[in-house]
Structures are given as C-alpha cells and as structure tokens.
Structure 1
Amino acid sequence: MNPRDLLAGLIAIDSVNPDLVPGGNGESAVADFCADWFRQHDFEVHRLERRAGRPSLVAVRKGTGGGRSLMLNGHIDTVGTAGYDGDPLKPEIRDGKMFGRGTFDMKGGIAAMMVAAAKATERPLRGDVIVACVADEEHGSFGTEEVLNTFTADAAIVTEPSHLEVTLAHKGFVWFDVEVEGRAAHGSRPELGVDAIVKAGHFLVALENLDLITEHHLLGRGTVHASLISGGEEASTYPSSCRITLERRTVPGETPDHVEAELQHILDHLTATVPDFTATLTRGLARDPFEADQDAEIVRTLIANLGAPPVIRAEPFWTDCALLDRAGIPCLLFGVDGAGAHAATEYVDLASLDRLTDVLTGTITDFCG
C-alpha cells in the first residue's frame, strides 16, 4: 500500500465542488473510487448522500471490542481548476513533490489516512477505525454534518494540510448583511433625498475603528472586513439603500451572539448620533472557532508518535474540526507539507505524505489497540 500511488489516482478524478463552480463534477466519482478501494481492503462502506450527486463516504473496520474508536476525517471536494498552471488532473512528480489540483488541499491527507487505516488494522484492534471522506468542506461542510448525524467516535483527526505541525486551534467566522436605508430623490432635489451610500460610509469608518479585545494565545485577535457593497440605481438619483456584506473572523471565546451584539452596538450609536441614519443587521452563516485540549488522549498519542518535540500551531481558516468538537469528539488537525491551496500551482511534499502516513498508522494502533 503506497500513499503516493493512491494520491495519484485521487488527483486524476475531477471532484470540483459545484457549489463553488457551477457545473463542477462533485464528489460522486471520487467517492466511487474510494469505496472500491476500501472494499478491496475489507472495510465496511457506507455511502451518505442526502444531496443527490454529493456523497460522503464512511469506511469502518470494527474492532474486537473494549477499545477506543477513532475517526479520520478529510474532504474529497476541491476548488476549481480554471486558471491552473498545467493539467490539474494529471499528477506530475518533480523534485520530490507531486503537483495537481488537490494534492495539498487535501487529497494528500485523504490518501494518507486511507493507507494508514488499512495498515493499522492488518492486525485486529480493540477499537473501531472510522474513515470519513466527506463532501463540501470547501463550501458549507454539509458532508461532515451528515456524517455526524450517523457516526461518532471517541476521538478524531482531521488531515487538512498543516506542514506536519500539530494544529490545536483555528478561527471561526460569522457573515452579516447591513442594510442602510436612504430615501430616493432626483439629484437636483437634495432636500428630499437621503443618500444611503454616504450614510453607509459612517458604518464603514466605525467598522475600521472597531476595537477587538479578545486575544487568543495562538491565534491573536479576531478580524473584520467588508466583503461586498452594493447600492444605487443611476448617477442622477439619491440611493434608497446600500447593502454591505461583512465577515467577522472569531477566536475561541467569541460567539456569534457576541459578535452580533458588537455590531448592533455600532449601528445603535450611529442611529443616535448621525441624522437620518437607519440600518438593519442580518446574521448569515456562522461557524464556531475551535480549540483542542492539549492534554486530550488523542493529542498526546499523536505527539508521542511524532518522535520529536512537536510544533504547536493554529490556523486562521476554518475547518471541520469545529463540527467534530461541537459534537463532543476530541480532535486535532494534522496533515501534509506543501503549498498552493486554491492557487494556480499546487503540490504536496512527498516525504511529508509518507511521514503523515506513518504517524497516523502508529496513532491509530496505539489509540485503538
């Protein structure tokens, strides 16, 4: 069992997320490939497909009983291939690296956890080994949500790329829409109009000056930025509305309710102090930040299998770790080295792929055995 060969097979299969790229191939073909591989290696295979054409795959090797169960989790969807430098579906090896869409984010992690699970269970273990190859992490993460409706475990490892560093925290995010109201009027009649775009400027300045005080020892402070803005209809008319979409990245200790109250306080202050300022705040998608317990058994077991003092890190982006943690499953993130996630050139360092496979194999054996 060679993770490099398996990765090459995974890369050759188009699994672009169609929620990101309309017409994208989705996860069906790569799920079929993984299912065949797992069946050949004597795993139970469960296909979860609440959304047609968007399957997640869960492979299980049951233990003999009395041991701890471990879930390995990774996503099989990728971002788009347009603009990729070269053939994104033709794995190419140069200078100890494999290039192709998804090599780094994150079919390298998928290949490593599949091979590690098969190697670790060549001899019976007491606990169950569960391998979740999930859909849609690149967009809404409904794949892991669907898996967690049916499966649980005593611990989990998410094999997102981490440069072989032990990742114990990451930021969350909350999206909001702010609708600033104005009053339409002809440009020659300023006494009748209220310029919603100009009024929105007061909010944008306040947003830039927002003091985010919660600080995390690995992640620092949260962030906020205005992502989209729209308003107005024509040059000669006062705009009746202006919509701002913003993203607030959160650190552990910050909740969506906390962030909403923070933004509403700004709007209430502007309503009280700026003439004719009126706005409404609407919360959109929210994902919790994540922080692992460094003393959790799964963390200590993986670190012991590294054989060297670990580099502990945190990530500014969001991962499915937060969903596993919210489901009561202690987890951490540990994955390959490389570069180019979402970029025109993407690669995985092949030595790190082999190293990840070995560390996962030992961790599974120790934790479940």
Structure 2
Amino acid sequence: MIPGAEELDPVRLLERLIAVDSVNPGLAASGAGEAAVADLCTNWLTAHGFDVHRLERNPGRPSLVAVAHGTGGGRSLMLNGHLDTVGLGDYEGDPLSPRIEDGKIFGRGAFDMKGGIAAMMIAAARATARGPLRGDVLLACVADEEHASAGTEEVLESFTADAAIVTEPSHLQVTLAHKGFAWFDVIVRGRAAHGSRPDLGIDAIAKAGHFLVAVEELGRRLAEAAPHPLLGSGTVHASVIHGGEEPSTYPARCRITIERRTVPGEDADTVQAELTAVLDQLAVTVPDFSYRLRRGLHREPFEADPDQPVVRTLLRHARSVLGHPPVVRAEPYWTDCALLHRAGIPCLLFGVDGGGAHAAVEWADIASVHRLTDILTGTIRDFCS
C-alpha cells in the first residue's frame, strides 16, 4: 500500500530533522553527534519497509544504511547524505526551530544537508512503494562528513552499489567534479637563545618568513598553470602558524600548516614533492634554514564520467522535472563523492537550492526540496528497474 501524500512530504520530514541537534563534536566539543537524528531516521525508515543497518565504530557517532531489497537482476543505487551539521553557537535565532517563510525553510542543516537527507528518504520510499524494483536501493545516512568523513569510510567497508548520488546541496545543478585537499605541517627549525645573544640564536620565525614568501610564489605558479576545464587550477595557502615562547628568546621552531587544494591529476604525493622542492631550495639558498615536513589529512579530488548511466539517468529526469537541461558544474570544496569514486562506485552530486551553509542564517528553498525529491524518485525507479 502506498503511504499518503502527507506522510511522504519531504518538507514535513525536513522539519523533524532540523529540530534534532546533530552538531559534529569534532567541530564543537559540546556537539550532540548523530545518535538522536539516526534514531529518528531508523524509526522512519523501518516503518517504511527498509532493512536498516546501524554502523557505530565510534560510540555515539552512528551511520545508517537502509536497504530496500530488489527482486534481483537490476542495478543497485546508493543515495548518500550526512547527518551531522556544523555548530549552533553563532546562529541567529533558534537553529533547532524550523521556520517557513517566503518559500524557504530556515534552521541549522536545512541546506547543508538535511534537505538532501529528507529528499532522498522520501524519494526512496515513494519509488519502492510504487512496485518492486529489480535492483537494491540503499540509503547511506552518514556521520562525520563535516570533519573527517569517518561515516562514509565505515559504510564503504561493508556496502557497495553499482552507482551513487550524493545529495549535498548544489542548487539543483549537477556536480561532476570537485577539488581535493592535502594538509601539511612545515616545521622550521631554529636555535633557542637569549634575545641578547644573536651570535647563539637562530630565529625560526624569521626563517619561516622565507617559506611564506615561497608559498605565495607557488600559488602564483599554480594559477598560471593549465587549468582543469571545470575546476580551474589548484591553490595553496598558509592557514595556521605557531612559533616562539616569549619576547626575550630566539624561537627554536615555527610550525606552519599549509593547505593545498588539488585538482584531478594531483594528490598528496605530488603535493609533498612540490613542497619538498620548495623547502630544499630554501635550505640551499637561505643560511641556517632547516626544516621538517609532516603530512596530515588528505583527500582526493573527484571527477565523474559524464557518460556513466547514473549521470545520464539523473540528467534525463532533472530535465523533465525542471523543464530545461540542468547546469553541469564543479565545486571548489571536497565531498564524500571522492570516497565513493575511490571505492569504484560511479557517482555524482545533486541537491537542493538555498544558502547559508555554515553561516548565521541557513535556509533551503522549499520548491527545490520538492523538485529534488521528484527527480530522485524518477532516477531510482529508472536506474533500478
């Protein structure tokens, strides 16, 4: 039996999702985590006939995989979205009290990305309620995307699919590529000494200044390189610097954290080689320049094949619902698409319209939530039939 229209209204479900605190504790120590919102999703999905698996390697940080099993012989499709949000502290008004006004729904996570979660849950329920599909439909409602993406990594250890759609907000535009990133710490070594003894001390902060100038020059070279057709060029910047103990002492070390945004063809290894070349040149040309390079978190860039069946299927249904071909574009930020792609799952990103991601006021366009739901419903039935 097909559930009633009111029960399968994505905006009503979105209101319920916004009202649950799911701040990522990796971003804010007081963050509630994903447990409560995962409970809400579990109860809803179980009531609508899904087989729900709860993955919780990190206590209090669950991810869900809800499966509507097919009859066999069809392609499987995973819809992926993250349950966590950024913090509530700087939000204007009550971030957990959803408010509808002028065709928009306001609240923390409305845009990034509980709007996508609501749309994919309703779409999967609608698609499977209309009659059996041959392929499995999987909903991956994951933890921790806003910090380290531990949720999608855990999901991919146990589940796979023939294709995937990540419902991150994209303004109803089809995202087929995004940049990656690599974080490195550069520790510039000096020698501690009393401030009155320049003959004994080596100023690590002053030496680090040479590296900062070199980083700026590296950024200029990257900007002048041949750009990626969708993403442009890679970028680099110094994001954090620590050094020194007190005014009267030569600093023995200065640590600079570098973020390098990467495009397809670049990865942590190429960035490490790039930074090493810069630092080795400074060691040759700057007296007493000594360093250590330490690799941190890094994530690959992503680029989809536009001829993949999942891309062609979604483009067809988006054109039908929107009344025009959707814009195809790339994002400068990183998403879980890269993890799915690395796992051999063809994927793309497509989500709601709105604004205020990580900002003091956040909102999703209500009409876009409905359109996204309709597009996903048609894509699921077409791809998995």
Normalization by structure 1: what TM-score?
0.99
Equivalent in 2, 13, 16 of residue 9 of structure 1:
16
Q: 1:214·1:253 contact (CA, 8 Å) conserved in 2?
A: no
Q: Counterparts of 1:20 and 1:98 in 2: how far apart (Å)?
A: 24
Cα-to-partner distance string for 1:277-334 (whole Å, 9 max, x where unaligned): 0001100001000000000000000000012212011001100000000000000000
Cα-to-partner distance string for 1:199-229 (whole Å, 9 max, x where unaligned): 0000000000011235211110011111111
Q: Does 1:357 align with 2:364?
A: no
Equivalent in 219, 239, 254 of residue 242 of structure 1:
254
Deviates more, 1:210-219 or 1:41-50: 210-219
Q: Does 1:48 align with 2:55?
A: yes
Q: 1:102·1:346 contact (CA, 8 Å) conserved in 2?
A: yes
Q: Counterparts of 1:223 and 1:350 in 2: how far apart (Å)?
A: 35
Shift, 1:191, TM fit? 1.1
Q: 1:214·1:222 contact (CA, 8 Å) conserved in 2?
A: no
Shift, 1:79, TM fit? 0.3
Alignment of 1:108-119 (within 5 A): 108-119=115-126
Alignment of 1:197-208 (within 5 A): 197-208=205-216
RMSD: 0.6
Aligned length: 369
Q: Counterparts of 1:77 and 1:214 in 2: how far apart (Å)?
A: 37
Aligned position for 2:190:
182
Identity of aligned residues (%): 72
Q: Counterparts of 1:13 and 1:188 in 2: how far apart (Å)?
A: 58
Aligned position for 1:72:
79
Q: Counterparts of 2:226 and 2:292 in 1: how far apart (Å)?
A: 25
Alignment of 1:1-369 (within 5 A): 1-122=8-129, 123-210=131-218, 211-212=221-222, 213=225, 215-307=227-319, 308-369=324-385
Q: Counterparts of 1:195 and 1:338 in 2: how far apart (Å)?
A: 49
**Which letter maps to 2:290?**
T
Q: Counterparts of 1:118 and 1:353 in 2: how far apart (Å)?
A: 15
**Which letter maps to 1:176?**
F
**Which letter maps to 1:61?**
A
After superposing on structure 2, the runs of 4+ consecutive aligned residues of structure 1 that deviate more than 4 Å are none
Q: Counterparts of 1:231 and 1:368 in 2: how far apart (Å)?
A: 56
Normalization by structure 2: what TM-score?
0.95
Question: Which 5+ residue runs of structure 2 have no aligned equivalent?
Answer: 1-7
Q: Counterparts of 1:242 and 1:47 in 2: how far apart (Å)?
A: 44
Shift, 1:23, TM fit? 2.1
Cα-to-partner distance string for 1:265-286 (whole Å, 9 max, x where unaligned): 0000000111000001100001
Q: 1:12·1:90 contact (CA, 8 Å) conserved in 2?
A: yes
Q: 1:91·1:99 contact (CA, 8 Å) conserved in 2?
A: yes
Shift, 1:236, TM fit? 1.2
Question: Which 5+ residue runs of structure 1 have no aligned equivalent?
Answer: none
Cα-to-partner distance string for 1:120-159 (whole Å, 9 max, x where unaligned): 0111000000000000000000000000001000000000
**Which letter maps to 1:111?**
A
**Which letter maps to 1:187?**
G
Cα-to-partner distance string for 1:170-193 (whole Å, 9 max, x where unaligned): 000000000000011111111111
